[in-house]
């Protein structure tokens, strides 16, 4: 019996000695050589397994009649109208926004208007004390009447060949000089009245009655006309040949939630050397009078139009290491299989999520849409749509 037990125990010991060491046991040994050896062993096994899987996949692809192909959707390229816009920010202005100053120095004796009042062009808004000029004018007009009577009598005598020519000329000169003096005085007195230069609304009465005003210095009124508004914006110089007078513009005024279509009414001829831009003006109608000066407006200016553009989503375009852009078109190979064919393209302008393709595809081509990122050149595909 003992002879049978001892060989069994010997074989058990040998079997236990050949037991494979686990990763945990190797790490627990704290033996750097054992750990490195275990890592090398596992890495070799990993490479062998990967190579075996590749061999199996190759065999499956050859033997499986229902091998899997990428599922894709497609769409057909059509030419369409393409309007490209640039977006700019501008400021709403009006040329009829003016601060009035007097032409005559003196005391502001009368103010005839108040804030918010609508006035007509030429209407008297205020008067300045003329310091006695009106009385002087009255005296001058009396003297003018006398000079006129003297001249008329002297003229009658001269026509009858009575008196000397010098007397006639002196009377005529005196009368004409007096008339001019009266006209000059009237012009001076007219400057004591502050008049509205255009139809509009008194936005602010800056100087009150009784204040001393100086010509060209004292601000008296602000008058504004909101019926002729416009947007002023600065356009980069690279658009000088495309954005000009008559170019279509979409104007968005976010504050009042208003969007309207207009045209460029004026394009500047001067390039600002500081920022390389030129100014454009876009007329904006304001019938409701809810557009105010200095509001911000967003402009979308049509700088390019192609009535037969080829537009595709930007998401379909891929790029290789050389920087070339390409898409996948749907074709048939010599086995009559549906395949994806890579086509190099040249793109143009973009608008939103769409880009214009200038070269590489044509109208009628069928492109891979969904699934374009998962296919390869000349790879069989299955079209879902």
- Per residue in 118-133, pLDDT (tens digit) is 999 999 999 999 888 9
> Are the CB atoms for 232 and 143 separated by under 8 Å?
no
**Pairing label, strands 97-100, 193-195:** unpaired
- Per residue in 206-221, pLDDT (tens digit) is 999 999 999 989 999 9
- The predicted structure's pLDDT at residue 19: 56
- The predicted structure's pLDDT at residue 59: 78
Radius of gyration of the chain (CA): 47
pLDDT tier at 38 (50, 70, 90 boundaries)? confident
Selected residue with higher pLDDT from 15 and 267:
267
Mean pLDDT of 84-110: 92
- Per residue in 192-204, pLDDT (tens digit) is 999 999 999 999 9
- Per residue in 352-361, pLDDT (tens digit) is 889 999 999 9
Q: pTM of this prediction?
A: 0.57
- The predicted structure's pLDDT at residue 65: 54
- C-alpha distances in Å from residue 31, one per residue of 36, 44, 110: 9, 20, 107
Query: In terms of Cα–Cα distance, which of 98, 112, 135 is closest to 194?
Result: 112
pLDDT tier at 20 (50, 70, 90 boundaries)? low
- In sequence order, the β-bridge partners of residue 332 are 338
> Are the CB atoms for 113 and 125 separated by under 8 Å?
yes
Which SS3 state, helix, strand or coil, does residue 149 take? helix
Query: In terms of Cα–Cα distance, which of 195, 217, 221, 214 is closest to 104?
Result: 214
- The predicted structure's pLDDT at residue 3: 45
- The predicted structure's pLDDT at residue 233: 94
Mean pLDDT over each residue of the chain, to the nearest integer: 87
DSSP class per residue in 312-371 = EEGGG-EE-TTS-EEEEEEEE-TT--EEEEEEEEEEEEEETTEEEEEES--TT-EEE-TT
> Are the CB atoms for 70 and 216 separated by under 8 Å?
no
55-64, 118-127, 364-373: least confidently modelled range: 55-64
- Per residue in 338-357, pLDDT (tens digit) is 888 999 999 998 888 899 99
- The predicted structure's pLDDT at residue 287: 85
């Amino acid at each position: 019996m003992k002879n049978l037990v001892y060989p069994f125990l010997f074989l058990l010991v040998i079997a236990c000695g050949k037991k494979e060491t686990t990763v945990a046991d190797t790490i627990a040994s704290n033996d750097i050589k054992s750990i490195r050896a275990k890592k090398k062993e596992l890495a070799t096994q990993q490479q062998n397994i990967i190579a075996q899987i590749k061999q199996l996949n190759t065999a499956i692809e050859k033997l499986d009649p229902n091998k899997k192909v990428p599922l894709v959707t497609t769409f057909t390229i059509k030419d369409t109208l393409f309007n490209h816009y640039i977006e700019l920010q501008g400021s709403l202005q009006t040329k009829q926004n003016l601060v009035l100053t007097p032409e005559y120095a003196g005391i502001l004796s009368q103010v005839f208007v108040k804030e918010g009042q609508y006035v007509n062009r030429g209407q008297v808004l205020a008067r300045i004390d003329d310091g006695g000029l009106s009385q002087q004018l009255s005296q001058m007009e009396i003297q003018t009447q006398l000079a006129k009577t003297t001249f008329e009598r002297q003229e009658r005598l001269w026509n009858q060949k009575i008196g000397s020519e010098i007397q006639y000329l002196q009377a005529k000169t005196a009368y004409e000089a007096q008339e001019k003096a009266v006209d000059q005085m009237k012009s001076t007195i007219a400057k004591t009245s502050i008049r509205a230069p255009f139809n509009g609304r008194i936005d602010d009465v800056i100087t009150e009655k009784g204040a001393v005003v100086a010509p060209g210095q004292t601000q008296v009124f602000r008058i504004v006309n909101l019926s002729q508004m416009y947007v002023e914006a600065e356009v980069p110089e690279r658009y000088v040949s495309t954005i000009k007078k008559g170019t279509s513009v979409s104007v968005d005024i976010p504050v009042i939630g208003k969007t309207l279509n207009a045209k460029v009414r004026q394009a500047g001829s001067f390039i600002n050397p500081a920022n390389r831009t030129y100014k454009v003006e876009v007329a904006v109608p304001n019938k409701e009078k809810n557009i105010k000066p200095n509001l911000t407006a967003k402009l979308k200016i049509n700088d390019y139009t192609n009535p037969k553009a080829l537009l595709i989503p930007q998401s379909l375009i891929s790029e290789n290491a050389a920087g070339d852009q390409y898409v996948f078109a749907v074709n048939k190979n010599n086995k009559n299989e549906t395949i994806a064919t890579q086509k190099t393209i040249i793109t143009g302008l973009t608008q939103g999520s769409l880009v214009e393709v200038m070269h590489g595809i044509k109208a009628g081509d069928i492109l891979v849409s969904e699934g374009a990122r998962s296919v390869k050149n000349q790879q069989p595909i299955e079209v879902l749509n």
